[in-house]
Each structure stands twice: as C-alpha cells, then as structure tokens.
Amino acid sequence: MIHLLWRDDLRCGTNYDVTTLFLLSDNATVAKCNPDGQWPCCSNAGYCGWTQDHCECKGCIDYREKSERRKIQFEKVQIEARLKKLEEDLALADEVSKEKKAMEGRIAGLLERSSRIREYRNLRIRRCEDSLQAMAQLKETDETSISDLEERLSKEQIARQKSNEELKALKNELLDSLATTAAQQELRTKHEQELALLKKSLEEETGHHESQLMEVRHKHSQEMAVLHEQMDNAKKIKEALEKAKATLEAENADMANEIKSIATSKAETDRKRKHLESQVSELTSRLQESEGARSEVQDRLVRIQTDMESLVAQLVDAESRSVNATKSNANTELNEMQTQLEVETKQKLALNAKIRELESEKESLHYQVEDAEGAKRNFEEQISSLTVQLHEAKKHADNEAEALLQLEELRKRSSKDIESLQGQIEELKVQNDRLEKSKKKLQAELEDIIVDLENTYEDITIDLDSQRAKVIELEKKLRNFDKVLAEEKANSERFVSERDAAERDAREKETKVLSLSRDLEEYIVKVEELERSRRVLQNELDELANSQGTADKNVDGTSSGDQDAIENNEDERFDELSDPSPALEPPNPEMSDLDKLNETTMSNGAGHFVQPPTFGARNNALRILIHELLRGDPDALRTHTPNGAGHFVQPPSFGARNNALRIVIQELLRGDPDALRTNMSNSAGHLVQPPSFEARNNALRIFIHKLLGGDTDFPRNNMSNGFFGPGNNALRILIDELLRGDADSLR
C-alpha cells in the first residue's frame, strides 16, 4: 500500500518543488488533503508544498480560468474603447472636411458677390460716361447758340450805326434848307416826324435786343454753372468709382491669392489625411489579425484545458479502478496487482510528463498572447501618435503656406546673391588660373635662362651684365605677378567670406521665420482660448437674456401686408438700382455690411427692422417704435404717443422700468439733439465707436435691457467693449449718428 506522505517542514503557501515529496509504498491508497477534494493550498489548512498557481485541483483550475477570463474581458473592453476613440477621430476628420467644403462655398459666394459689385460698378461708369457725353453735346449747342446771338448783335450794331449816320445827314440837310418855302417846311416836319418814329422804333428794337441778349447771357451763365457743377460731380464720382475699382481689384487679387493658398493647403491636408487614413486602416487590419490570432490561441488554450481535465478524470478513474481491484483481489492476485500498480505508476508518470508538456505549451501560448498584446499596444501607440500628427498637421497647415512663401522669397534672394558671388568667384578662379599659367611660363623661361647662363658662363662674359639685368627684370615681373596673385587670392577670400556672411544671414532669416511661425502658432492658440472664453460668456449672456422673457411670435411679421410692403420696397430698390436714370450717386461703401444684415434677425434685405426673438411680449410698444423708425417713419415717435401733441408720453405697455429710455426720446422730440449725447455717451460728449454688433443682437438686447432696467450709466460704460459682433452695421451707424448729435439720422 502506497501512502503519500508530506514532510513536516513543508507548510502551505510556500514555493517548494515537487521533488521534495517522497513516496512510501505501504498500500495502494492515494492520500487526499481534505474531504472536499481540494488541495490544502486552497484552504490554507494542512501541509502542502504546492502554491495556487501550480495546484491542479478543481478549485485552483477554476480560479485560474476565471482570472484568465476576467483578464481577457478587460483587454477586450480596452480594445473596444480604443476602437471607439479611433472612430471618433475619423468622425472629427470628416467634420474637418465638411468645414473645408463650407469654406469653399463661402469663398464661391464671395466671388459671386464681387462679380455683382463689379457689374454694378461698370453700369455706374457707363451711366457717368453717357451723362458726360450728353453734357458735352449740350455745351456745344449752347456755344453755337451764343455765337449766333453774337453775330445777330453785331449786325444790329452795324445797322444802328448806319441809321445814326443817316440821321446826321438829314439834320445837316435840314439846317441847310432853313430858308426854304412852306412846302419845304411841311416836308421838313414830315421828315422830323418820320425821324422821330424811326428813332423810337430803333430805340425799342435796341432795348428789346439788349433784353434778349441779357436773358440769353443769364441763361447761358446759369446753364454753364449747372454744367460745371455736374462736371465736377461727375469727376468726383468717377474718382470715387476708380478708387472703388482699385480697392475691389485689390480685394479680388487678395481673394485669389487666399483661394490659391487655401487650395494648396487643402491639397496638402487631403494628402496627409489620406496617408493617415491608409495607415489607420492598415493598423486596424493588423489589430484585427492580432485579435484573430489571439482568439485562436484562446481556443487552443481551452482545448488544452479540456484535454487536461479529461486526463485528470482518466487518472482519477484509473486510481479508483486500481483501488477497487486491490480491495477485491488483495489476497489472490497480490503479485499481479503489484505488476499492475507498477504499470499504473508508469502511466501516471507518463501522464504527469504529458501534463508538464501541456503546461509548458500553455506557458508558451501565454507568452504568445503577451506578445500579441504588446504588438497591440504598439499598434495603439502608433495610432495615437498618428492622430497627434494629424492634429498637428491641421494646426500647421495654415502657417506652412505663409512660412513657405517667406522662405521661398528668402531662398530666391539668397540664391541670387550666391549665384552672383559664385560667378565672381569663378571669374577670379579663371584669372588665378591665367596668372598661375603666366607665372609657370615665366618660371620656365627663368629656369631656361639660368640653365643657358650656367652652360654659357665661361663662353659669354661680355653679355653678362645684360643677362643679369634681364634676370632682375624677370624677377621683378615675377614679384609683380606674385603681388597680383596675392591680391586676387585676397579678393577671392573676401568674396568667399561675403558669401559665407550672406549664407549666415539667410540662415538667421530662416531661424527668424521659424521663430515668427512659432510665435504665430502661440498667438493662434491664445486667440482660440480667447474665442472659447468669449463663447462661454456669450452663452451666459444669452441665458440671462432668455430668462427675461420670450419672443412675441404674433408680432413677428405684424401682418402679411407688412411683408408684402417689405417685398415691394425691395423690388422698388432693385428697380432703382437697375434703372439707367441720369441721377449720379456714389456707391454705398456699406453695401457689404448691409448684405450681412440679411443673415441677422434684426433686419431683412431692405434694411428694415424685423422683430428680434428676445424682446418678449411686454415690450410690444418699444419693438413697434424701433420697427417704424428703422423703416423710415420719422413720425413714429409722435404717432405712438397717447396725446399726439408732439411730446412723448409713456405708453401703458412700456411699464414703470422704462423711465431712462422715455426721458431720452422725450428730450430728443422736444428739439434737444444733445439728449442722447448727455444721457448715452461718455463724459467728454464723444462717442467711442463700437467695433460691430453680433449676429443675434445680443449687445443691442442687453443695451435696451439695461436702459429699461433704469441703468443710465450702462451705455456710457459699455459702448466700447468687445462683444459687438459683425452683424448690425446699419443699426450701429444709426446709434453712432444719434450719439454724435445728428438728429436727422432717423429720417
């Protein structure tokens, strides 16, 4: 009988090897740790050399399986969260592409608007030219009529001189014939009467002609003055149109450049986005492959665990069979049972070896799972880095175009300087080569002369002085060439130093450009933070304003007749713009701002006031009052008063809190144009112009809300703050003119 004995020095919870246990063959029974079939390590009772990680009991195996399942479930949740994050990043990229498309649509709208403005400007120019031609024709006709009148006047003067001469001749004849007869006396009286009649008729005709001439001259002078004024106005209008044309051309050029830069940046960002999307798709495919491999490993692990359980069951069955067999045939078949027991022990050892192999295979699979998890973590890190790169590419896409343009300009300039310096250096090199060649030639000639002198020294004694002089001259020439060569080398070194300095300047400029780009990025970040804070404050202000009351939907359009009148006014305005009338007016510089009013809730396309959604039902009288004022009804303040005597009296619907606004309008109607300045501007009496109104009229709403609440210092303290957005330019100009003292701005 075999007893499984435990050593006394082994305790549960300590890591001992299996070899520390030993077997004593007493009988064929296998000892168990406790009646529940678990090892002592699980209940911390008894003596055991196993730990829970190595124990093969059912409880420990279940515990390990549950821990593995929890770990796999946790990893699955993490992977799903990361995949969700990747999907959110892709959705963000789609939103960015949609924003780009919206920006392209806005750019197309701006281009269409600029084309309309250009057509309107060309139409006004053609009208001006036609009016100038008509004025020139009128001037020519007036000049011809004046020349005709002058000719007639000269003819009348000549006839008058002739009649005066005839009169003098008749007087002389009458004086000579004083002593004539009675018949002659009668003739003389007749002649005198005729002469008086002629004088009278002549004086009448001359007076009539002079009056006509004065009238013609007066009319001509008036027409000339009118023509001169029209010419001056036409010249001014033409100059204004030319200035507007120049500004529009500059704006068109800027818009074209901006569109080109946006197109390039868009192409670059699309390319980067496609590249990042391809990388993300590759990483997701690899992640799916790793998950498939992991699932296969898990399936294999489950199969191995089932095999282990079946082997353990076989081992238990074999032990039970052996125990039963030994109990039934202990006396008769002891030897056979011993042999069977030896065989069973061998089988048990083989099964233990197989279990160890399965455990090693399990550990290798566990290592493979850990490697797959590490690869998965690497993939996730790569995905996060790619998302960060995508965000950085989006941030730097706008700044790269400007930096590249500046760098290209600097590179072009530096390349031009370097090319010029390189050309000079090449020329200097060519000159140096020439000088070197000439020096070599002179040295060769000098060496030849020296050799000749040495060979013929004994024979030639007479020409020695001349040869020495030649040698001295050649040495002088050689020294001169050395000096020239040194100077050329110095020049080349100087040009090289200048080139190096130019390169250093170019590098410094590049570093400056990089630093400026970094500063620009920081500034953009600050601007975004300020924009976020502004949006938060705007939302708070909207909530405060919405808590004061709801919009009056019944008075939003007042009636369908008002809408028809507004549409008719718009049609009349469009007809006035398209009608080629001779009236010449300069184009409105605030046209673009009026176009912006179409998108607001305070006015329609004709510049008329429409009910804002934040006035509420209790301010019906104030809304109608401002509505009529902005529609061009200057008598609205008087017609909306109860007494109608020209003085403002508080209507019943204004309430008791409208005292400040009531006093201001009352003083304005009584003829005090300084009422708005003294009650609504700063202490110096000058308006600090607000930048602009926001699209939803939040500033105007708060403005009127504070006035209705009795806060008369609010306009003085808040007309120059920064929450007036770019939406209500027409209303801003109205308040501006009122605060400056222009009481006619409402008309």
Residue 70 has pLDDT above 80, yes or no: yes
* pLDDT greater than 60 at residue 590: no
Query: Domain end: 264, 294, 328, which one?
Result: 328
Residue 382 lies in a domain: no
Does residue 693 carry a pLDDT above 70? Answer: no
Give the burial string for 35-47 (b: 16+ CB within 10 Å, else e).
Answer: eeebbbbbeeeee
Is 635 part of any domain?
yes
* Residues 107, 248 share a domain: yes
Domain count, the chain: 3
How far apart, in whole angstroms, are the C-alpha atoms of residue 723 and residue 311? 80
Question: What pLDDT, on a 0 to 100 scale, did the predictor assign at position 605?
Answer: 38
**Mean pLDDT (whole number) for 516-539:** 81
- Do 558 and 651 have their domain in common? yes
State residue 160's pLDDT score: 77
> Is residue 492 one of the residues assigned to a domain?
no
Domain coverage including residue 26: 1-54
CA 42 to chain centre: 68
Q: Do both 48 and 170 map to the same domain? A: no
Continuous segment of H or E residues that includes residue 24: strand 22-24
Average pLDDT over residues 532-548: 77
Do 632 and 703 fall into the same domain? yes
User: What local confidence, expressed as pLDDT, does residue 366 receive?
Assistant: 72
Nearest 5°: the CA angle 52, 54, 58 is 70
Residue 704's nearest CA partner among 637, 654, 629, 743 is: 654
DSSP state, 619? G
pTM comes to: 0.22
- Taking residue 192's Cβ as centre, other Cβ atoms within 10 Å add up to 13
pLDDT score, position 38: 42
Residue 452 lies in a domain: no
Q: What is the 3-state secondary structure (H, E, C) of 163-194?
A: HHHHHHHHHHHHHHCCCCCHHHHHHHHHHHHH
Sequence-separated contacts (24+) of 659-668 with Cβ below 8 Å: 659/710, 660/707, 660/708, 660/710, 660/711, 660/712, 661/622, 661/704, 661/707, 661/708, 664/707, 665/637, 668/637, 668/743
- Do 45 and 68 fall within a single domain? no
pLDDT beyond 50 at 510:
yes
> By C-alpha distance, which of 685, 696, 744 is closest to 719?
685
Backbone angles phi, psi at 609, to 5 degrees: -75, 135
pLDDT digits (tens, 9 = 90+) for 79-95: 788 778 777 877 777 78
- Residue 326 is predicted with a pLDDT of 58
Average pLDDT, the chain: 64
Regarding whether 156 and 24 lie in a shared domain, the answer is no
Read off the pLDDT of each residue in 487-515 and give the average, rounded to a whole number: 78
What whole-number distance in Å separates Cα of residue 462 and Cα of residue 477? 24
Q: Is 38 in the same domain as 99?
A: no
127 and 257 within one domain: yes
Alpha-carbon distances, residue 127 vs 123, 140, 451, 585 (angstroms): 6, 20, 99, 11
Residue 338 confidence (pLDDT): 65
Residues 9 and 72 in one domain: no
Q: Residue 5 in 3-state DSSP?
A: strand
Residues 33 and 136 in one domain: no
Last residue of a domain, one of 274, 298, 328: 328
The candidate with the shortest Cα–Cα distance to 84, out of 438, 320, 383, 357, is 383
36 and 163 in a single domain? The answer is no
Average pLDDT over residues 337-366: 74
Residue where one domain finishes, among candidates 22, 37, 54: 54
Q: Is residue 229 part of a domain?
A: yes
- What confidence score (pLDDT) does residue 480 get? 77
384 to 379, 381, 388, 564: CA distances (angstroms): 9, 5, 6, 58
Is residue 386 domain-resident? no
Are the CB atoms for 730 and 601 separated by under 8 Å?
no
Domain match, 12 and 113 both: no
Mean pLDDT of 341-354: 76
The predicted structure's pLDDT at residue 468: 65
Contact 721, 689 (CB under 8 A): no
605-628 confidence digits (pLDDT tens)? 333 333 333 333 334 555 555 555
Residue 645: the pLDDT is: 38
